Amino acid sequence: MKKITLIILSFILSTGYLSSQTKFEKFFWSKKYKASLAERDNLCADNKQLRLDTTELRNLIRVKNKIYDSLTVAYNNLDASYKSLANSTDKKLSDLNTTLENKSKELEKKEKNLKEKDQKLKELQSLLQKQDSILNALNNTIKNALLGFKSDEFAVVMKNGKVYVSLSDKLLFKSGNASVEDKGKDAIKKLSEVLNKNTDIDIAIEGHTDNVPIKTAVYKDNWDLSVARSTNIVRMICDEFGVDSKRVTASGKGEFFPVATNETPEGRAKNRRTEIVLSPKLEELFKLLNPSK
């Protein structure tokens, strides 16, 4: 626009056309010229402002791009961290689930074992109660069977889950002898009758002496004598009174398990005894305690 206006003005001046124009025409062209100049100036100002705005916008875009790039880097870092954390968390959760499953199985196994042990304990308690009941009944039966004998000739006690029938030396034997006297045979017979009715009882015959030394043509010492006495009683209850020999054992304890002092005649008399130890058969108990055997 500026170039066109200049060309027109040059043409007017060169041809002298302006001298023939009227005042009105001069006024008209002068006003139009000023308007053109004003328009040119506005356009220049707009162009300048546009350049400034463009420069500012470019700077703003650069700043925004830097921020965007920075945010992109931060996002990528966060995304990588998130994925790493997610993978780590998934692995930890998987490991935790595996651990919990194993613990749960272990707990179930322990709970099952506990129930089995509890059941076994109940069975054991029931069995022990049954054995105690048998021993109590046996204890009373033996006492009743031996009521005809003097209190210093026998004793029946329960201890350690067994019944101990202690028969004195003066009831069974003469001094230094292993042959059973008639009165002693009567006691052994009555005791055998009870044992034959209680077949679930094991029988141990133990011979005991005092500490007074003995040496005869038959017995070398008290130990030898105690063995002979217990053996003779075993033969009697099995051969004469029909007790199953598989239930019976014999042993001689000599002077080594006294129940009283050997310093007095009364004490030595108590130590000279034969003990018949009765205990319930423990096969059921052993099976319960050792089911794999």
Measured CA angle at 58 (ends 55, 63), to 5 deg: 130
* Position with higher pLDDT, 2 vs 139: 139
Residue 80, pLDDT above cutoff 60 = yes
* Least confident piece of the model among 48-62, 175-189, 257-271: 48-62
**Pairing assessment for the beta strands 248-254 and 154-159 based on DSSP bridges:** unpaired
Question: What is the arithmetic mean of pLDDT over 139-159?
Answer: 92
Whole-angstrom Cα distance, residue 170 to residue 70? Answer: 114
Cα separations in angstroms, 280 against 221, 241, 287: 33, 20, 14
* Position with higher pLDDT, 280 vs 209: 209
| CB 271, CB 255: distance < 8 Å | yes
CATH no., domain 135-289: 3.30.1330.60
Among 93-107, 150-164, 235-249, which range has the highest average pLDDT? 235-249
- Beta-carbon count within 10 A of 238 CB: 17
Whole-angstrom Cα distance, residue 208 to residue 227? Answer: 9
Question: What is the arithmetic mean of pLDDT over 215-223?
Answer: 92
| CB 26, CB 18: distance < 8 Å | yes
Residue 11, pLDDT above cutoff 80 = no
Confidence band of 65 (pLDDT split at 50, 70, 90)? confident
Residue 25, pLDDT above cutoff 50 = yes
Give the per-residue pLDDT at 17: 47
Give the per-residue pLDDT at 77: 85
Give the per-residue pLDDT at 211: 95
Question: What is the arithmetic mean of pLDDT over 59-82?
Answer: 84
Confidence band of 3 (pLDDT split at 50, 70, 90)? low
* Least confident piece of the model among 33-42, 130-139, 143-152, 262-271: 33-42
Whole-angstrom Cα distance, residue 259 to residue 271? Answer: 6
Percent with pLDDT over 90 in the chain: 43
Contacts of residue 40, defined as CB under 8 A and 6 or more positions apart, other chains included, come to 1, 2, 5
Question: What is the arithmetic mean of pLDDT over 235-253?
Answer: 96
Residue 43, pLDDT above cutoff 60 = yes
Confidence band of 242 (pLDDT split at 50, 70, 90)? very high
* Least confident piece of the model among 88-97, 165-174, 258-267: 88-97
What is the secondary structure of 45-62 as a DSSP string? HHHHHHHHHHHHHHHHHH
Mean pLDDT computed over every residue of the chain: 85
Confidence band of 18 (pLDDT split at 50, 70, 90)? very low
**Pairing assessment for the beta strands 201-208 and 248-254 based on DSSP bridges:** parallel
Give the per-residue pLDDT at 15: 52
* Position with higher pLDDT, 133 vs 289: 133
